[in-house]
Amino acid sequence: MQDIPWGVLVILLPVVGTLACFLCPRRSVPLGLAAALGVVVCVAGLGWQVVEQGAQRYAIGGWGAPLGIDLYADGLSLLMLAVTAVVGLGISVYSTSYFEPGRSAFFWPLWMFLWAALNALFLSADIFNLYVTLELLGLAAVALVALAGGADALTGAMRYLLVSLLGSLSYLLGVALLYHSFGSVDIAILAHRMEASPAVWTAMGLMSAGLLLKTALFPLHFWLPPAHASAPTPVSALLSALVVKASFYMLLRLWLEIFPLSNSAPGQLLGLLGAVAVLWGGLLALRQTRLKMLIAYSTVAQLGYLFLAFPMATSIAWKGALYLLLSHALAKAAMFMAAGSILYFGGHDRIADLDRVAQRLPLTLAAFGLAGVSSMGLPPSGGFIAKWLLLEAAIRTGQWWWAIILILGGLLTAAYILKVVGYAFTQAEVTHEARAVPVPMEWAALALALAAVLLGLFAPWPLALMEIGLPFGVEAAR
């Protein structure tokens, strides 16, 4: 069991899944589901290996760091893989009955490609390889958004593609500068040889700008809502829950390991932008009339929280941000699936006349409610634990204003979530005939929402996992 290279399997299995689904489109649903289960098993295997032996470094081709490419799995990447696996499995189950045959023949290969890209990205320890995986991820996401076929889905996909390419090229220019300054593209070697120089600061600026554009932090978030809202539901779920997080993970990795800074000025800037994103996203989410747009703007707001950890830069702050990332991924996927079920059932997702639909879908509303509890940061959810850690970090580092942003953001989230949940308790009878929602769709949403709540009850294990390989530095855990 020890010597099986789980890391490689986690990447290659979805690729094999893609090829299989592409070759026989008629059987793409069973093949896709089988591949999804396989990937979950492989991630579990890798997780067990990392827990047993600590952080794993795997030299591809046997050449070792400066020349070859290394795969590196520590606590941070393991948790990202785990959340991708759980959300991915939920989305796969949801999509078995969401797409009609014509579209699902293309959904599965693209979705498997995206999953392979995510797993490769979370394991890669080489910044050029990260560029290739980032590009693979971007193109797959764009193709998936365009799968919905409507005018706004296509324009959303086009704008997303242009933004994604711009971000990638800016990132690549940063990689070029770093390579030509230090003669290597491996993260560990760069961290070792790193010293501040104009080339490094420019590279950091370019790479961060590129990644911020792809993570849709406040001023650069304009492309996210139309793309995420007009995409088919499983795609919106995986975009908001996973794809946007991948570029955040890369930013986190670079800032933690390569860029020579404590919580310096750029960190404060990111924190400020994050704070504005929390408030701006929340306000706009409150004003939306369509449910999926509301959830998309809620993503913009919740992403703002993640960046609050940059100015604080203590190990608790990083852990809080990562914990929020995990619970947001689960909760946001569940929310989008619930919205998808409502759309599937009632044919529309206008919030104003949601009540005719909501009260006849108890499971879906329960899923939306539970996911809402987690994004509000109310106990007993993962969101609460994350909010607690971030609040604690804010007070311990003396930067109490972030705590105020966290509290205000929580209230704003509560406002727009409970505005929607309120519609479940009405007496309006159903006026138009509706399409029954298939069972896997409702239960997948509920399962992910419950996972978000369970994340709040069993916090010590993920927090212990975060310690492996000390991605967040060594200072006191508490």
Q: How many residues bind other proteins (CB under 8 A)?
A: 104
* Min CB(74)–other proteins separation in Å: 18
The CA R_g of the chain, rounded to the nearest whole Å, is 21
Minimum Å gap between C-beta 37 and other proteins is 19
Residues of this chain, 327-346, that bind other proteins according to CB under 8 A:
none
Binding other proteins by CB under 8 A: which of 193, 422, 430, 439? 422
Query: Diameter of the chain by CA atoms?
Result: 69
Nearest CA-CA partner of 400 in 300, 288, 290, 312: 312
CB of 93 to other proteins, least distance (A): 20
For 209, the token pair is: 């700008």
Residue 207 CB partners (closer than 8 Å, separation 6+): 127, 170, 171, 174, 175, 254
Query: Shortest Cβ distance from residue 11 to other proteins (Å)?
Result: 9
User: Taking CB under 8 A as the rule, does residue 177 contact other proteins?
Assistant: yes
Residues 196-215 that bind other proteins (CB under 8 A): 197-199, 202
Q: Which of 33, 34, 158, 283 binds other proteins (CB under 8 A)?
A: 158
Long-range pairs for 172-180: beta carbons < 8 A, 24 or more residues apart: 172/131, 173/203, 173/206, 174/202, 174/203, 174/204, 174/205, 174/206, 174/207, 174/210, 175/127, 175/128, 175/131, 175/203, 175/207, 177/202, 177/203, 177/206, 178/127, 178/203, 178/258, 179/128
CB 310 within 8 Å of CB 470: no
Residue-by-residue DSSP string for 279-339: HHHHHHHHH-SBHHHHHHHHHHHHHHHHHTHHHH-SHHHHHHHHHHHHHHHHHHHHHHHHH
Q: Which is nearer to other proteins, 100 or 198 (CB)?
A: 198
Is residue 475 near other proteins by the rule CB under 8 A?
no
Question: Hey, which residues between 21 and 50 contact other proteins (CB under 8 A)?
Answer: 22-23
Q: Which two tokens stand for residue 160?
A: 């997303």
194 binds other proteins (CB under 8 A): no
**Binding letters toward other proteins, positions 53-92, x by CB under 8 A:** -----xxxxxx--xxxx-----------------------
Q: Does position 184 bind other proteins by CB under 8 A?
A: yes
Among 37, 165, 194, 454, binds other proteins (CB under 8 A): 165
Q: Give the tokens for residue 461.
A: 């294990």
With H, G, I as helix, E, B as strand and everything else as coil, classify residue 397.
Answer: coil
| 48 or 222: CB nearest other proteins | 222
For other proteins, the binding residue among 101, 260, 380, 473 (CB under 8 A) is 380
Whole-number Å distance between alpha carbons of 75 and 465 = 5
- Show contacts with other proteins in window 135-154 (CB under 8 A): 135-136, 138-140, 142-143, 146-147, 149-152, 154
Cβ–Cβ < 8 Å for 368, 339: yes
Candidate segments 244-252, 282-290, 411-419, 434-442, binder of other proteins by CB under 8 A: 411-419
Please give the single-letter amino acid code of residue 434.
Answer: A
- Contacts (CB under 8 A) with other proteins, residues 220-259: 220, 222-223
- Interatomic CA distance for residues 104 and 405, integer angstroms: 42
User: Cα(445)–Cα(338) distance, rounded to whole angstroms?
Assistant: 6
CB 387 → other proteins: shortest distance, Å? 8
Q: Is residue 418 a contact residue for other proteins (CB under 8 A)?
A: yes
Which is closer to other proteins, CB of 346 or CB of 377?
A: 377
Q: How far is the CB of 246 from other proteins (least distance, A)?
A: 14
430 binds other proteins (CB under 8 A): no
User: Site mask, other proteins, residues 276-305, x = CB under 8 A?
Assistant: ------------------------------
List beta partners, residue 70. 59
Q: Is residue 166 part of the contact set for other proteins (CB under 8 A)?
A: yes
